[in-house]
Structures are given as C-alpha cells and as structure tokens.
Structure 1
Amino acid sequence: MKNELDIAAKESSLPTERKNTYTFEQNGTGTNIGLAQNVSSTTVNIMLPTSNNMVGTPTYIQKTINMDYFNLFVILGEQYDKPYFIVDVKRALTINEGTAKNIHDRLATFTDEAKAEIMSYPCIFASENYRYSPPETIPTGPQIAQYGFITKIQQMHNGDLKIYFQSLPMCPIPQETLSNMITELDLRGTEKLNEFDRTHWAIKNVNIVEELKLKGISLLIPSL
C-alpha cells in the first residue's frame, strides 16, 4: 500500500499543462506545414519563405504570431498578386471603420513598436464584396479571401502605408463565409452590408484561426 501511495504522489506532481510545442522536419526546398488543431497558447513561432526567393536554396524569416488579434484588409479591386499593396492612411485602423478605440489609440500611431505588434497578428486579405459590383466586372467563380502575414510596413511620404506581406495560397477562404460571420469576427454592419463592402484596414480582437475552425475551415501554420 505504501508503494502505491508513493507512486500516486509522484504522478500527481507531474505538470498537467499542455504545451503548444510542434516539431517539424524540413526536407527538400518546400515549406513544411503544421496544422494548429488543439492550441493551448495563442502565440506560435513560424517560419515564412521570403517573397524574393531565387532559384536555389530558399530563405526564410522567423515570426512569432499572436492569434489573439487579426488584421482585416479589404481593398476594392486588389488581387494581392504583388509583394505589397497600398492602404490609404485615412482608412487605416480608424474607429469609424471598425477598429476598437483601445486598439486604435495603441497602434494607429505606426511607431516602430506599433508596427512590430501589428506584424505579429495574422491577416485576412480581401477585396470588396462583389455583390454590389456591376455584373460585367465580376470574375467567374466564388470570391476567395487570402490568409497570411505582414512582413514589413513602410509609411510613405504622404502618410499612406505600403504593406509587404506573405499570403498562404493553400488556405483559401470563401469570402461569403467571412462576410456572414458578423458576431464571430466583430464586424460592423449586417450580413447585407458590412466591413467586407468597404475599403479599409481594421484590427479585430478575435482569434481568426479558432473562429474559422468552427466553420470547418482549417488555417495552416507553416513552420520549419
């Protein structure tokens, strides 16, 4: 009996917290992908391929991602097919466009510290909803938003913001699904007219990975 009690005492002293630790092995020249399914921490270390890779060995940048928040970019006509895009500073992180006041006050300064924090959040990259566009301008097929990360924020001489980014093409998201997640994504508006119908940049205090997982959409986290 004493031995059994000793064993129980030793087992009860073991830590019960589940650590958010992933081990990946990089083979070849591709990017290894890890799927975040049961995450006990909202901070994840990832490796992203640089957008200017040439033929040969790829290079990577390391990022620590805080999934408590996400960047929402909605830009009319933007296809996100270049290494960067431009955001009008008058529509960037404003309270009227859907960014909470405490987030605006902390990050809309665009200081180096603010930029570093902004870049730690994952992103949704979208064009404005097609639903109110002239039929002849609407591309065929469902409208798809992209998931990814900011790699650099450069403020231009006129105040506008040049956003360098890395999207993950293996994570397409039906924009209709996002546009209908009014409460889940803390969107301003209704399912008929909301933030996906207006060009702007907002930051939301929402874990986009977890919310989309509930909709059956898994976002992949690349890592080496």
Structure 2
Amino acid sequence: MSEKLQPISSAILPSSGASTNITLPGDGNTLIAQANVVNMKSVYIPVVQANGVTLPTRRTINADYYNLFIIGDETFTGGYFIVPKKCALTESIAPELKALYAKLDMDAVATIKTFPAIFAGKNHQYCCAGGNQEAYLGFVNDISIQDNGIRVSFHLLYAIPQRRLNELACEISIDSASAFNEFDSTHWTIKRINIIEKLRNAGLDTLL
C-alpha cells in the first residue's frame, strides 16, 4: 500500500451541510482562554453539494491542535457517529484542554470545529492495525449532545494506513504501553500537536 494519503471518493463524503467557515478578526490570529496566540489559516476543501457536485469550500483551521476519534468498528461512511458520553474528552487529554472544551458549549464547539481530526476504528489487535485498516484525516462539521451520546458529523479528506499512525504514536502524542495504545480504546480526545506537520514529516502528503 502506498504511504501517500488517499483522497476519499466523493461517493462517501457527507452530502449535506457545508463545512463551517469561521471568520476571525485581526491578521489571521486569535486568542484562546489561556492567552496563547494561535495561528489560523484558511484552506479550501472539497464539499459535495446536495446536487452531487463537488465544490471547493473555504474553511478556517487551527493546526496547533487535533481531534482524535477512536470509535469501535466504525467505518465512517454514514456522515456521523455517536461517541459515548463517558468516552468524550474524559481520557488521554491534558487537564487544561479538558477544562476548555469538555463542557461543549457554543464557543467550545466552534473552536473544536477548527481543529483537524483523525477518525479511526479500534485496532484489529492490541497495538496492531489490520493489514488494510484505514483511518482518515478530516474535520468535524457539527457536534450535538443527545441522550444516547455525543453526535459528531464529519467531513473526510484522506485515508491514512492505520498501521502508520500506530508507528507514529510517540510523534503524534498517542498514549502507549508495551501492549496497548489509544487506538485500542473507544474515545474522543484533543491533542496539542500539529498533526498536519507530523504527517508531512513522516512522508504522508496532507495537501493542507
């Protein structure tokens, strides 16, 4: 399998709900609660419209952080998935990030949607992805709290061999032990890591 990221077929991209474009004042920077300056940039991503036409849509992103979703046997083909509440921003997350985002209020959700995201199913075996198992780079489109969990709608950009993410565990801030890592457990967390830069440095083209 090529180490290049594979574009997602438009047939499995969500067909409703254009990506959010968040307008920020100033020279492309914003301040968050801990008063660190965060570099923002606008990128164009392909979005499938209701009529089936794919159009480039501008999205503002903050690449200093990324969302990590590990969801059971999820294949990420339905446009959304459910994160159990007990697994949403409760583990493998820095206390200051949990304090900022776990409340999932309007401001927190708006910021979370600017972070790139890795979407993955659980490893087929502990610390070991299946031979053809793929994770995905993309974005969160929306988040809502329901009785049965946290509903997350998403936009996929590229497929990534999940074995490569296991190999890059240290570089992308994945909690690991000798026979277990975060890809073995259903959860959602946020990492203070530039995932775009890390993937690019590992020879995986992101086109972002």
Q: TM-score, normalised by structure 1?
A: 0.69
Structure 1 residue 182: Cα displacement = 2.8
What is the 5 A alignment of 1:96-135?
97-132=91-126
Task: Name the one with the larger helix percent.
Answer: 1
Identical positions, percent: 35
Q: Which moved more, 1:208-217 or 1:112-121?
A: 208-217
CA distance in 2, matches of 1:191, 1:173: 23
Gaps spanning 5+ residues in structure 2: where? 1-37
AA paired with 2:68? L
Gaps spanning 5+ residues in structure 1: where? 1-40
What is the 5 A alignment of 1:39-188?
42-51=39-48, 53-55=50-52, 58=54, 61-94=57-90, 97-132=91-126, 141-156=131-146, 158=147, 160-168=149-157, 171-188=158-175
CA distance in 1, matches of 2:42, 2:207: 13
After superposition, give the CA deviation of every residue in 1:163-183 in whole Å (9 maximum; x if it has no partner): 111101xx2211111112232
CA distance in 1, matches of 2:149, 2:56: 27
Query: Which entry has the higher C-alpha Rg, 1 or 2?
Result: 1
- 8 Å contact kept, 1:86–1:162: yes
Task: Name the one with the larger strand percent.
Answer: 2
Report the secondary structure of 1:130's partner residue: coil
> How large is the Cα RMSD of the aligned pairs?
2.3
CA distance in 2, matches of 1:46, 1:142: 29
CA distance in 1, matches of 2:203, 2:140: 25
CA distance in 2, matches of 1:45, 1:192: 39
Structure 1 residue 61: Cα displacement = 4.8
